[in-house]
Amino acid sequence: MTLTINRTGRKAAHSAPSARWRSRKVQGWLYAAPTAVIVGVLFIAPLVLVVWMSLNRWPLLGQATFNAPANYTKIADNPLFVDAVFFTLKYTAITTVVLSAAALGLALLVQDRKPGIGFFRTAFFLPGAVGFAAAALLFYGMLNNDFGPIDPMLQSLGITDEPVKWIGTPNMALFSTITLVIWRFAGFNMLILLTGLQAIPTEVYEAARSDGANRWQVFTKITLPLLRPTLALMLILSVTGSLLAFDQFFVFTNGGPDNSTVSMVMVVYRDAFFRFDLGGAAALSVVLLVALVGLNTLMMRRLR
């Protein structure tokens, strides 16, 4: 009887961790399940569908017909897309440099806790609270030659003699769009950099100063190296956002003048919704996705 009890007791003692482990494993799966379902339904399934669409001639209504790799091979024959690739890269390069400089400048300006600094931080961040399409429409109205207030103001101050063609020439359209993007995003990027700046221990600065380092040396030898992970995050966000640029060009310049501000996503949109070539648009999206994943992997390795 004792033996039996002991045996049973030993068995129970032996199997308890395994049962608990199994139960924890099931629990783990259950905790992960909601996220897994969301990722599956909202990310994986659409991705698989887009890849499948890119391998088919996909009409608006009716049956799709398999035509791979026609949607991919015709991309090179699409001069609008080829031009859009170059334009988007140029836009990304300029925007990223200017935006980073502006955000870093703002972050350095407002990093110290001084009286009234909260006002400036809020003021710089405020444009980030405006929807991007709304901001693009706002700029369209402000800079409009017929009814915008900017031209009369500049003229009354004697800065310009006649209305400036803000979106009338390719260079001015790009300049105006970049100004819009900086206005809208500099404050948000400033916030990201501010968290990085405030994570740098004050002791490091004090040590540098007591060693006789001047402001420039402190900035280049202390601030920038220690800010590297935060700068990397900002760069990745900026590059990815710029390569996927759509709202600002769609609403503000409408791709003009003369197709000089057509971004890659605008070509995808045009192929899908104006030319009804859903398969071709899906192929462009897949190419864009692969390029973005590749570029981000590269950047993360370089900036780590």
What gap in Å lies between CA 9 and CA 32, rounded to an integer? 34
Chosen residue from 30, 76, 157, 159 binding another protein by CB under 8 A: 30
- Cα diameter, the chain: 108
Chosen residue from 38, 48, 101, 153 binding another protein by CB under 8 A: 38
Q: Does residue 275 interact with another protein by CB under 8 A?
A: yes
Query: Taking CB under 8 A as the rule, which mask of x and - marks residues 244-273 in contact with another protein?
Result: ----------xxxxxx--x---xx-xx-xx
Structure tokens belonging to residue 104:
């870093």
- Subset of 76-105 contacting another protein (CB under 8 A): 80
Spatial CA neighbour of 225 closest among 204, 207, 203: 204
What gap in Å lies between CA 270 and CA 83, rounded to an integer? 14
- Subset of 137-166 contacting another protein (CB under 8 A): 145-146, 162-163, 165
Contact 264, 78 (CB under 8 A): no
What gap in Å lies between CA 62 and CA 225, rounded to an integer? 57
- Minimum CB separation of residue 267 from another protein in Å reads 8
Chosen residue from 21, 119, 120, 276 binding another protein by CB under 8 A: 276
Nearer to another protein, 241 or 256 (CB): 256
Q: Does residue 128 interact with another protein by CB under 8 A?
A: no
Peptide bond into 257 cis (omega under 30): yes
- Subset of 214-233 contacting another protein (CB under 8 A): none
256: left (phi over 0), alpha (psi -120 to 50) or beta: beta
Count of residues touching another protein (by CB under 8 A): 39
Nearer to another protein, 49 or 204 (CB): 49
The piece of 59-67, 95-103, 122-130, 282-290 that touches another protein (CB under 8 A) is 59-67
Q: How many Cβ atoms from other residues are within 10 Å of residue 200's Cβ?
A: 16
- Minimum CB separation of residue 24 from another protein in Å reads 10
| Cα separations in angstroms, 294 against 87, 184, 281 | 19, 27, 20
Spatial CA neighbour of 219 closest among 189, 193, 239, 191: 193
- Minimum CB separation of residue 257 from another protein in Å reads 7
Structure tokens belonging to residue 97:
């440099």
Contacting residues toward another protein, per CB under 8 A: 23, 26-27, 30-31, 33-34, 37-38, 41, 59-62, 80, 145-146, 162-163, 165, 167-168, 254-259, 262, 266-267, 269-270, 272-276, 278
